[in-house]
Amino acid sequence: MATRQLFFNAALREALLEEMAADPRVILLGEDVAVYGGVYKVSQGLLERFGPDRVRDTPISEAAIVGAGVGAAMQGLRPVVEIMYADFIPIALDQIVNQAALMYFVSGGTVHVPLVIRTQGGSGSNAGPQHSKSLEAWFAHIPGLKVVAPSTPAEGKALLKAAIRDDNPVIFYEHKLLYRTVGPVSDEEVAIPLGQAAVKRPGSAVTLVAWSRMVLEALKAAEALAQEGIEAEVVDLRSLCPLDETTLFGSVRKTNRAVVVQEAWRTGGFGAEVASRIQEHCFDDLDGPVLRVAGMDAPIPFSPALEKKVAPSAADVADAARRLCRGPARR
Amino acid sequence: MPRSVDYRRIYRLMLRTRYLEEAIVQEHKQGKTFGPLHLCIGQEAAGVAASAVLAAEDVITTTHRGHAHYIGKGLDLKRLCCEIWGKAEGTGQGRAGHMLVVDRGTGILPGSGIVGGGLPVAVGEALAFQIKREPRVVVAFLGDGASNSGAFHESLNLAGLWRLPVVFFCEHNVYGLTVHVKDHLSVQDIAVRAQGYNMPGLVVDGNRMEEVAPVVLAAVERALSGAGPSLIEAKTYRLHGFSTSDTGGYQREEDLAAWRARDPIRLGADYLLSTGLTTQAEVETMDRQARAEVSAAVAYALAAADPVEVLVPSAVFKE
């Protein structure tokens, strides 16, 4: 199968373009998505291709953007709305939590909301505390929302297409540092269902669980650990909801150790949910505690000197894995 | 159902709304209701007339105080009562409650118990109608309280900007929960806020169905013509508390008396009789019928089966 090397943002753009070409119900709404093509250029050229009816710049009105997506979805369109920074999502939270997530349930399954909310988060660009957060756990907490957080261009493309075709509201979480990463993307249609994790590197000594950009750090850590004779297995969850417990538990039962890696704040993060599920289901298989490597419980600071300290690095992940693997075995 | 003004029908639906809510009060006194129930007694002309003039294919987004809207849009009383009493045959299978009625068949899409929360959704539905070139409109209900929410201002701006087929219908009932408008509203007439969003703002007497219905229909026709949204403010008054859990004490007796003297049900009957649209005998027949319909629906709901399971297959996500 022929592939091309594509940037993450270009791969997402291909997903939008292909889905819009295939389905006239797909529309785009958001700040700067039309004329400018999105601040990360994910929707570049789509206005010219599909016209102003289907690709619309909006006012800086996050509640109205998401609400418009919910309403249009209820009336037969399949909107993809963009919230430029995840940090702006709190303004639209009522529409997500009290409208989009509830509609199917409260209508007894007669009204559904096929809406994708693309948003961008994460630290590492010196954007400061109001433009750097990782808030994916908020949405995984809400019944009725699906949450996707890919780590590579190929998976970003396939999962965005799957999100657009899904009949439920999907939060599509993009890490800002991934946009300029490059990877092979097939020339052909690749389908990845929501809720399917991937083993990104096989190993036998410890499972490193991650999603979004932290997968790249986990892979770097696994590389370093391999030099020391510790074979780490890296599981990329890809979607937090639905969560692929089969792949996750299968890996932990093989390696008997797990480190969960997240960029988001440690307290109440999705990593806590993953760790909890592992110990509930794999307790007898574990040779040690499920460790978390997570963001520091502090607002994301602006100064580059400080910012680099709050998000986990590959070295932090490797340290945790070493502690777990070299500690006294329980059996 | 085509768009039209049929005052006899509006009046019948107002009676249904009034008797339903009086029945709720009675059941509540006997401890036979669940949760806070929000009544629109005194506001029926506004709520019913604004929804009853619409076509079946038009939609409404409503509020926590939505009984008049539901009934005006044609929702079956038994299904409504089953939702009010949390029964399996309710519009939401008992999952939603009376604040969040959603019914695709009659175009109640959606209710919202979050003040102002339905307005952005209404804008999105109107956007879909515009993009699909469908000759349909949305009437988005709100109260005076919601007109102070960010969602209201974001929604009116977007609707005005894109000239969407939506009519914002504000029932100004003087109180946001217990707070009088003099303490929560910066303007006398909410309708003036329309000027900021490139749409007409109109004030009507919300206790007279004959004032509400033609103004709404004209705004609907304007929206259908592509001329864009309108904001209509219906001046009315909430004769009961915020909800059945309201302990009261903040509504002035002289205000209540003045507004009771302008009861929309009586004004409605007066209009039908003075215009010769109906006779005293027919008014009495309509009254008896409405009482009987409500009694039957409430009895049906009280006896209906409870829902059983929460997580039935496909309850939370569409497969």
Report the 10 Å Cβ neighbour count for B293.
Answer: 17
Q: Quick one: tokens of A40?
A: 């990360």
Active site residue A131: yes
How much of chain A, in percent, has pLDDT values that exceed 70?
99
Cβ–Cβ < 8 Å for A298, A307: no
Contact list, B100 vs chain A (CB under 8 Å): 102, 106
Cβ–Cβ < 8 Å for A67, A99: yes
C-alpha distances in Å from residue B143, one per residue of B60, B117, B260: 14, 12, 20
Nearest CA in chain B to A53: B131
Contact list, B129 vs chain A (CB under 8 Å): 75
What pLDDT, in 10s, does the model give residues A211-250?
Answer: 999 999 999 999 999 999 999 999 999 999 999 999 999 9
Cβ neighbours for B76, distance < 8 A, ≥ 6 positions apart = none
**Count of residues for chain A?**
331
What pLDDT, in 10s, does the model give residues A134-186?
Answer: 999 999 999 999 999 999 999 999 999 999 999 999 999 999 999 999 999 99
Residue A60 in this model has a pLDDT that exceeds 80: yes
- Predicted pLDDT of residue A328: 56
Contact list, A106 vs chain B (CB under 8 Å): 92, 95-96, 100, 102, 110
- Flag whether residue A93 sits within 8 Å of chain B, measured between CB atoms: no
Active site residue A189: no
Q: Supply φ then ψ for residue B112, to 5 degrees.
A: -160, 125
Q: At what angle do helices A153-165 and A8-22 cross, to 10 degrees?
A: 30
Once rounded to an integer, what is the mean pLDDT over residues B266-289?
Answer: 98
Cβ–Cβ < 8 Å for B210, B180: no
Check CB contact under 8 Å for B155 and A71. no
Contact list, A103 vs chain B (CB under 8 Å): 102, 110
Check CB contact under 8 Å for A74 and B150. no
B194-197: Cβ within 8 A, 24+ apart: B194/B156, B194/B230, B194/B231, B196/B156, B196/B157, B197/B153, B197/B156, B197/B157, B197/B159, B197/B160, B197/B229, B197/B231
Distance from A98 to chain B by nearest Cα, in Å? 8
With bands split at pLDDT 50, 70 and 90, how would you rate the model's confidence at B2? confident
How many A×B Cβ pairs under 8 Å?
144
Number of domains composing chain B = 1
What pLDDT, in 10s, does the model give residues A314-331?
Answer: 999 999 999 999 875 444
Domain assignment present for B14: yes
Check CB contact under 8 Å for A98 and B117. yes
- Predicted pLDDT of residue A313: 98
Domain assignment present for B253: yes
Q: Considering only residues 37 to 76 of chain A, which have any Cβ-Cβ distance to chain B shorter than 8 Å?
A: 53-54, 56, 58-59, 61, 63-64, 66-76
* Antiparallel, parallel or unpaired: β A232-236 and A198-201: antiparallel
- Predicted pLDDT of residue B172: 98
Domain assignment present for B19: yes
ipTM over 0.90: yes
Q: Is A183 helix (H, G, I), strand (E, B) or coil?
A: strand
DSSP B188: S
Q: Quick one: tokens of A134?
A: 């990782």
Look-up of token digits 């291709």? A49
How much of chain B, in percent, has pLDDT values that exceed 90?
97
Check CB contact under 8 Å for B102 and A106. yes
Question: Could you say which of A64, A75, A109 has the minimum Cβ distance to residue B120?
Answer: A64
Q: What is the CATH number of domain A198-324?
A: 3.40.50.920
Q: Provide the Cα torsion B185, B188, B194, B200; round to 10°.
A: 160
- Predicted pLDDT of residue A326: 87
- Flag whether residue B150 sits within 8 Å of chain A, measured between CB atoms: yes
CA distance B119 to B193: 15
DSSP secondary structure string, A86-132?
GGGGGGGHHIIIIIITTHHHHTTTS-----EEEEEE-SSSS--TTS-
CA distance B57 to B53: 12
Q: Which residue range(s) make up the domain with B197?
A: 7-303
Residue B301 in this model has a pLDDT that exceeds 50: yes
Domain assignment present for B33: yes
Beta strand segments in B162-285, E: 166-172, 175-176, 179-180, 201-205, 230-235
Nearest CA in chain A to B124: A68
Cβ–Cβ < 8 Å for B169, B158: no
Cβ–Cβ < 8 Å for B60, B54: yes
- Predicted pLDDT of residue A1: 78
Cβ neighbours for A18, distance < 8 A, ≥ 6 positions apart = A161
Could you tell me the residue ranges of all domains in chain A?
Answer: 3-186, 198-324
With bands split at pLDDT 50, 70 and 90, how would you rate the model's confidence at B1? confident
> What is the pTM (predicted TM-score) of this model?
0.97
Nearest to A211 by CA among A270, A296, A289: A270
Please give the distance of CA B280 from its chain centroid, rounded to a whole number.
27
- Flag whether residue B310 sits within 8 Å of chain A, measured between CB atoms: no
What pLDDT, in 10s, does the model give residues B216-229?
Answer: 999 999 999 999 99
Domain assignment present for B69: yes
DSSP H or E segment with residue A291: strand A291-295
Once rounded to an integer, what is the mean pLDDT over residues A269-279?
Answer: 98
Nearest to A145 by CA among A64, A65, A240: A240
Q: Quick one: tokens of A121?
A: 């988060």
- Predicted pLDDT of residue A331: 40
Check CB contact under 8 Å for B151 and A99. no
CATH architecture of A3-186: 3-Layer(aba) Sandwich (3.40)
- Predicted pLDDT of residue A62: 98
Domain assignment present for B315: no
What pLDDT, in 10s, does the model give residues B84-121?
Answer: 999 999 999 999 999 999 999 999 999 899 999 999 99
DSSP secondary structure string, A130-180?
TS----HHHHHTSTT-EEE---SHHHHHHHHHHHHH-SS-EEEEEEGGGTT
Q: Which of these is catalytic: A31, A62, A82, A263? A: A62
Mean pLDDT rounded to a whole number for chain B: 97
Q: Supply φ then ψ for residue A199, to 5 degrees.
A: -85, 115
- CATH number of B173's domain: 3.40.50.970
Contact list, A163 vs chain B (CB under 8 Å): none
Once rounded to an integer, what is the mean pLDDT over residues A282-291?
Answer: 98
Q: Quick one: tokens of A250?
A: 């299968």
| 3-state SS string for A159-171 | HHHHHHHCCCCEE
Check CB contact under 8 Å for B117 and A95. yes
Domain assignment present for B274: yes
Domain assignment present for B295: yes
Peptide bond into A242 cis (omega under 30): yes
Distance from B27 to chain A by nearest Cα, in Å? 24
What pLDDT, in 10s, does the model give residues A198-218?
Answer: 999 999 999 999 999 999 999
